[in-house]
Structure formats: C-alpha cells, structure tokens
Structure 1
C-alpha cells in the first residue's frame, strides 16, 4: 500500500503539470515565461481573448504549480516555476530513453533476422 501511495504522490505533480500544459494558450504562456518574468498585460497581448478568460489560464497554471505571480501596485507579474517544469521534462526524458532503448533493440533484432535470412538463402 505504501508503494502505491508513494507512486500517487510522485505522479500528482506530473499530472498537474501535464494538465496545465494540455492547452496551447497555457503552453505559449509558459514558453514566454521561460525567457523571464512578465506582467499579465504583456502575457495577454498575443491572445485574442478577454482578460477574464486569459486570467483563467493563468490561474490554472498557478494552481498546477507551473507559474507564480506577485502583485505590486496595479501590476501582476508572473514567472515560471522551473522546478515543476524540470520535473515534467525529467519524466519525458526518462520515457524517451526507454523508447529509444526499445527501438534500438528492435532494430538490432531486425538486422539479425535479415542477416540470418541472407545466410540461409546463400
């Protein structure tokens, strides 16, 4: 049971990160914030939507831990939480390595079978 709970605790932040990144608007915001902090007004400019709708996207990103924000006076500035983003990238990297190893083994197997086939024919 404790292993299952540990796995759930491990995957909860990943689930939240991928939920937040499932939307193209939110992915674009994160891509922009990777370059550095920005005020909400600047972040909203490229999108054809009202500010209340855009703020919903920011709330999702913030609730899922990918960004943080701070309001100073009338300006709310956002920045990316690199730790959460790095955790998602790390998981993707692990998956990429797994699949690369599998495709390498498959290629090796196919080459072995083709060599045997040529030897048997010759």
Structure 2
C-alpha cells in the first residue's frame, strides 16, 4: 500500500479497496450499523466468513476499517476519513481537467480568419 506524505492511505489504495462490490457492501454495512464482526457480516452477505475476513483486511490496509477486540470477538468499524480525502483529491483532479478543457475550448473557438 502507498502512503501520502502525511502517512495516510493514498487515494489509489482507497480506490482499489472500493473497486470490489463485496468490499463496498461490507463498508456500507459497517458505516450504517456502526460496527460488526466478520461472522455477522458473513451472515448478511453472499460470501463466507473467510472471504469477509480477507475483504476486511484489504479495507483495513486502505484505512477504511478499524478493528478492535471486544472480549473474544473482533469488531470492525468504518473509518470514512480516507474516503473523504480521496473524494477531495478527485474533486481537485476534476477541477484541473475542467480548467484544461476550458483552455482547449477557448483555443478552438478563437477566430483564426485573416
């Protein structure tokens, strides 16, 4: 996984983690319910507990999920801060492209007649 200069997960890692629909479902459940175990997540999703654990590991490396032990169980909670940072990065990238496209449009619309 890549890290930003501030030590945060890089946008590309967040996007890779979110590329899988099961991981998006896992993150959605965690965000809506406030937390769950791998076992309770597997009961709600069409995958095994082992598959959920692997998806949670990917989400964890991207900083989107935090784990903490509660007695014998490991509970997972969503951390949407990396997603918000990635959204801001995407917005800035889109703005730069809009600026470039505006410049191209202006050039193409310039009167080139003698």
Does TM, scored on the shorter chain, surpass 0.5? Answer: yes
**Residues in 1 aligned to 2:49 and 2:63: alpha-carbon distance in whole angstroms:** 21
- Which consecutive residues of structure 1, in runs of 5 or more, have no partner in the other structure? 1-7
Q: CA RMSD in A?
A: 2.8
**Residues in 2 aligned to 1:46 and 1:111: alpha-carbon distance in whole angstroms:** 55
Residue of structure 2 aligned with 1:109, choices 94, 107, 110 = 107
TM-score when normalising by structure 1: 0.67
Paired residue for 1:93? 91
- Which consecutive residues of structure 2, in runs of 5 or more, have no partner in the other structure? none
Larger radius of gyration: 1
Provide runs of 4+ in structure 1 moved above 6 Å: none
More helix by share: 1
Displacement of 1:42: 4.6
Deviates further, 71-80 or 88-97: 71-80
